[in-house]
Amino acid sequence: MPVRPPVIHVLHPGLFTTVQDLGRYGYQRFGVSVSGAMDSWALTVGNRLLGNPDRAAGLEITLQGPELLFEQALTIAVTGADLSPTSNGLAIPMWTVFAMKAGSRLQFGERRQGARAYLTVAGGLTGPMTLGSLSTHVRSGLGGPAGRAVKKWDQLPVGPVMRRSAQTSERSMPEAYRPRYVQSPTVRVMQGPQSEHFMDEAFRRLTESSYRVTSESDRMGYRLQGAELPHRASAEIISEAVCCGSLQVPSNRQPILLMADCQPTGGYAKLATMISADRSLAAQLAPGDSLSFRMISAQKASELFRSSRAELDRILPPHRS
Amino acid sequence: MTPRMIQLSESGVTVEFGDTIDLHTNELVSAFTAAVDQAGIPGLIEVVPAYRSATVYFDALLTDAITIMDNLRALTVNMAVAPSRPSVTHTIPVWYGGTAGPDLAEVAAQAGLTPEDAAALHASVTYRVFMLGFSPGFPYLGTVPSPLAAPRLSTPRKQVAAGSVGIAGTQTGIYPQASPGGWRIIGRTPVLLFSLHRPAPFLLAPGDLVRFVPIDEEEFAELTGDPA
C-alpha cells in the first residue's frame, strides 16, 4: 500500500503566509522575479538545523501567524521573527528543532520581535516546482499553492526526510548567534550604479538621517520616508537590472528599498545597494519601523558577504543532498 | 568601444554598451549576452539583458566582482558584433480597437488617422524585443512609427486583459497576464506569451523580432477557441 506523504493542514492562514525557498534564478531575463525568503538567512538556519538542504522550502509567516494541524508527527524548527509559536498551548522554543506530535496544532500569538517567522520542516515543504522553485510570487501567480498565499484548508505536502540523524536531538542555534531584530536598525550600503546621478548632499542625508518604513511596503519593496535625496538631473534612467537591496529614488526624492519580490528591471536611478549580510535586518521590519544607512566600500561588502557565510557554515554546516 | 562596468551588488555587475535606446546598442547587448551564456564562467548565475546594458549575476562565494569583470572584459574584446544566431521572427495576430483596444481611437485621433489606418501603421513595421520585464514574458518592443507615439495613461488601469497590446512613448508591448497597467491599449492578441503548460514557457526572447497581423473579432474568437 503506498504511503501518503505527510501534509500540514491550514486551519487558518494568518495575515500573509507564503511558501518560500531561496528564490527562482535563471528567468529574470524573461521578466520573472527572483522572490524567495525575505530573510533567507533565517530560512537557511531552520533548514540546516533539520538536516535539510539550504534550498528546501518553508513557510514565511508575516506578523500574524497561521494555525496549522499536523496530521502526522513531523520535526520542525521556527526561526526568524518571534511570533510566540505554541503547540497545543505549550511554547515552542525559537531556533530549535522541535517534534510535533501527530494530531497536534501549531499556533502563533503575540509579536515579540521581528516581522517574518519561518517554519521549516524536516524533509522540506514540497510540491510541483515552477521554473525551478517553490517560491511564491503572488503578483505573477507563480509558485506556492496555485501561485498564491496560503489559505484555509490548504494541504501543504512535506517531502521525504534525507537524514534522520540530524533532526532527532533538540538541536539549536546557539544563543550568541541568534539575531536580535530591532525596530530601527542600521544597515550597510555600498554605492549604487547611478551614484553620480545624485547631488553629494544625497549621500550625506542618506547616512546622517533615519528613514521610516511606510505602509506602502511589502515583499516587493519598502517605500521609505525621510530626508529628500536630490538628483542632479532626471530621476529616470533607461531601464536596467535592479536587485534585492537596490535603493532606488524616484522623482519625489524618497527612496524605495527593493526587496525579494522586486521586478528584475527598473527605471529609477539607484543611489546605493544594501549589502546582503544586512538583508535580514531589513527583512524583519514592519511599517512604522525605521532604518538608517551606513556607507561601506564594495570591497568591504564582498568581505562581509564571505565572512557572514563562513560564520554560518562554521556554526551550522550545510547539508548536501 | 570599451563597455563601462559598474558593480550593482556583491554578486552583480552591470555592463553598459551605450546610453541610448537604439538598435545597434541593443544588438551589442544581445551579442554580449550570448557570449556570456556560452562562456561557462565559473560561478555565473544568470545574465539579465536590458535596453543598453546587461547585468551579470554570480555566486560571490565562488568568485568575486574583480574576477568576473576581468572575464567579461576579455569576452567583450573577442565578442562577435554580428548576431550569434539568426533572429527569430514571430507573427502575432492582433484584434485592434473595439473592446480589445479601448485607447486605439484616441491614439489614432492624435495622429490624425482613422483607427483602421492607425492599426495598419502599427502593424506595418517589424519590431525588435529590446528586453523583457515588468512581468513574466512582457516584451518591450521598438520602435513605434512616430505618429503613434503616445504617453502612458496619467492614471493606470486597475486591470488590463491578458494579451493586451499597448503603447508607451515609442515602445509597444504585450501584457502576457491580466494585470494593472498604464500603457495605452490598442488591441489584443489571442497568443499566449507565457504558459507553464508547454516546454518553452516564454514565446519571446530578447533580440527576437515581432510582426503584428491585424485580425477581426471573429478570427480572435476562433483563435482563442471561444465559442462566442
pLDDT digits (tens, 9 = 90+) for A76-93: 999 999 999 999 999 999
Cα B154 to Cα B183: distance, rounded to the nearest angstrom = 10
How far does A238 lie from chain B, in Å, by closest CA?
A: 7
Chain position carrying cell 547616512? A207
pLDDT digits (tens, 9 = 90+) for A112-151: 999 999 999 999 999 999 999 999 999 999 999 999 999 9
The residue in chain A having the minimum alpha-carbon distance to the alpha carbon of residue B193 is A30
Average confidence (pLDDT) over B203-210: 96
Higher-scoring residue by pLDDT: B156, B190: B190
Q: Are strands B209-215 and B127-132 parallel, antiparallel or unpaired?
A: antiparallel
Cα B9 to Cα A255: distance, rounded to the nearest angstrom = 17
Closest to A194 (Cα-Cα) out of A228, A242, A260, A261: A242
Domains of chain B in start order, with CATH, are: 4-78 (3.30.1360.40), 89-224 (2.40.100.10)
Which residue from B19, B53, B136 is facing A30, i.e. has the nearest CB? Answer: B136
Average confidence (pLDDT) over B103-108: 97
Structural contact between residues A150 and A13, judged by C-beta atoms closer than 8 angstroms: yes
Average confidence (pLDDT) over A169-198: 94
Mean pLDDT of chain A: 95
**What pLDDT is attached to residue B228?**
46
Name the DSSP class of A136: -
pLDDT digits (tens, 9 = 90+) for A261-289: 999 999 999 999 999 999 999 999 999 99
Provide the angle, in degrees to the nearest 10, between the axes of the packed helices A40-49 and A298-315: 20
Which of A30, A34, A55 to mutate to probe the B interface, most B CBs <10 Å?
A: A30
Q: In A, what residues contact B, Cβ < 8 A?
A: 25-32, 130-131, 139-142, 190, 192-193, 238-243, 245-246, 263-265, 270, 273, 275-276, 298, 301-302, 305-306, 309
B137 contacts A243? CB cut-off 8 A: no
pLDDT band (50, 70, 90) for residue B225: confident
pLDDT at residue A163 is higher than 50: yes
**Whole-model pTM?**
0.95
**What pLDDT is attached to residue A177?**
95
ipTM: 0.95
How far does B11 lie from chain A, in Å, by closest CA?
A: 8
Structural contact between residues A245 and B9, judged by C-beta atoms closer than 8 angstroms: yes
Average confidence (pLDDT) over B101-113: 97
Cα A234 to Cα A303: distance, rounded to the nearest angstrom = 33
Domains of chain A in start order, with CATH, are: 7-179 (no CATH), 186-314 (2.40.100.10)
Provide the angle, in degrees to the nearest 10, between the axes of the packed helices B23-39 and B65-78: 120
